[in-house]
Amino acid sequence: MTTKKYYLAVDLGAESGRVILGTLSRGQLVLTEVHRFATGPVSFPVRYEHGEREDHGNKCQLVWDFLRFWQEIKDSIQRVACEKKITSIGVDTWGVDFALLDKTGGLISFPVHYRDSRTDGMQEEAFERISKERIYEITGIQFMQLNTLFQLLALKYEDSPQLKITDKLLMIPDLINYWLTGKATAEYSDATTSQIIDARQGGWSIEIIQAMDFPEHIFPEIVNPGTILGPLRPCLEEELNCKTTVVLPPTHDTSSAVSAVPADTDDFVWISSGTWSIVGMNTSEPIINKQSFIKNYTNEGGRMGVNQFSKNVTGLWLVQQLRNEWQRQGQNLSYSELTQLAKDADNLETIIDPDYEEFLPMGDMTDRIAHYCQITEQTMPKTRGEIVRAVLQGLALRYRYVIEQLEEIASRKTTTIHIIGGGTKNELLNQFTADALNRKVITGPVEATAIGNIIAQAIAMGDISDWQEGVDVIKNSFEIKTYLPGERPSWETRYQQFLANLEKITLAF
């Protein structure tokens, strides 16, 4: 390949959005960050006057400011189009959240953030309509109250007027693709995060939709990753002075990231590390059995022909919230500075499990960590460095706990851990993971989500032959680091402490 091709990856995460230009030439991919912008939620006042959860006062709801995101995306496309001919554009985002459109194609309201409290009690409500076991048997998706299923049920339960005028439900990446092209579809990988997809049949589950009394017509056609969606809307071509093609990568950011793992075989477990850590392995078919149900493991769509058997872990969320809390107190520390403080802190026995349920909501974490230490009969770390170290140690041990269960359920042992995504920048966590698991850890590429997105586009456009060639391109283009396990006895002791803490939490509740 001698002609340069230019691919644009729109990658929206829970904390920030990135628009990244990928230049492909002679088997190498070069990334250039075009634009980065904040994506966090905003508080939006609403008023409930319907259903059984009436609230005639004002209530603040967490929503995504999507009009701002859309303008940031358009500005980025225009900036690149002024200088280069964009071969194609691909969009990926976080999962589970969605937008509602009316019959004119208009956005009915701001998409609601998955951490909003509207899903409180909705799992129990769902199980009154269809059993928990049956939902899992159909979908193979882990139960989290933030899932699309429970968000949508909250609207139904409230007798929301929004749902009554909805013509189409679009997952977040599908909303952006609709605005870009006018095509209202549901890309499979992101649709699976809804917990409304039949994992074996590959379509929307009519059984679940009818049990929840959702309007069937709002669910759009499912299409596979790798689909060429089409050109930009004519009005956008004119506004942005850009003619290009929109391609569907795996639009769930985790699926795009996992596609960028630089491995030649399937003998590995992957960790997509960021605000959330997704821990999993690739399989040819969904794994849906009694063990996976009891342990709450999930099956999500990946690139074509790949099932991602995995589990969500609360990743660097705690560190992000601690940093925000300390900023409000007047100490503005970068993530690298916090990691260095943790590295310099003395070894300590305190282990913080990031998946403790009280850590899920936004807000100050120090008091919650102190409460966790009290329940688990541990000493509260004294310094900021010690607190972050305790969190990172706990995250590495949570990885071990999940991976051991993952391999047991799948009846498959692996030798290597691949860590991808922004969290790979935390080298202390990478080393803790190698130590805790006593396995080789390979990290990189850092911008795995954008890379997987771009490789998928290049395959669809015929510039890369297949995913194996894509792996070769990744290896030729990006830094890959290896971490080998070090000290063992102390980490075995810490793991036993982690397990003991789980027992104490269970007894406490």
- Catalytic positions: 253
**For the chain, how big is the Rg over CA atoms in Å?**
22
DSSP-derived 3-state class of residue 475: helix
H/E stretch holding 294 reads: helix 290-295
Closest among 34, 33, 45, 44 to 66, alpha carbons compared: 44
Alpha-carbon distance of 197 to 94, in angstroms, equals 17
DSSP 225-266: TT-EEEEPPHHHHHHHT---EEE----BHHHHHHHT---SSS
At 341, list the tokens. 């403080």
Contact between 113 and 97 under an 8 Å Cβ cutoff? The reply is yes
What Å distances lie between residue 146 and 39, 116, 126, 199, CA to CA? 18, 8, 13, 19
CB-hemisphere CA count at 13 Å for 34?
28
Give the number of other Cβ atoms within 10 Å of residue 80's Cβ. 21
| DSSP-assigned letter for residue 423 | G
Closest among 267, 173, 184 to 222, alpha carbons compared: 184
Amino acid identity of residue 75, one-letter, is D
Q: How far out from the chain centre does Cα 464 lie?
A: 26
Closest among 177, 274, 355, 156 to 368, alpha carbons compared: 355
Q: How far out from the chain centre does Cα 37 lie?
A: 17
Residue 438, sorted as left (phi over 0), alpha (psi -120 to 50) or beta, turns out to be left
Alpha-carbon distance of 234 to 247, in angstroms, equals 17
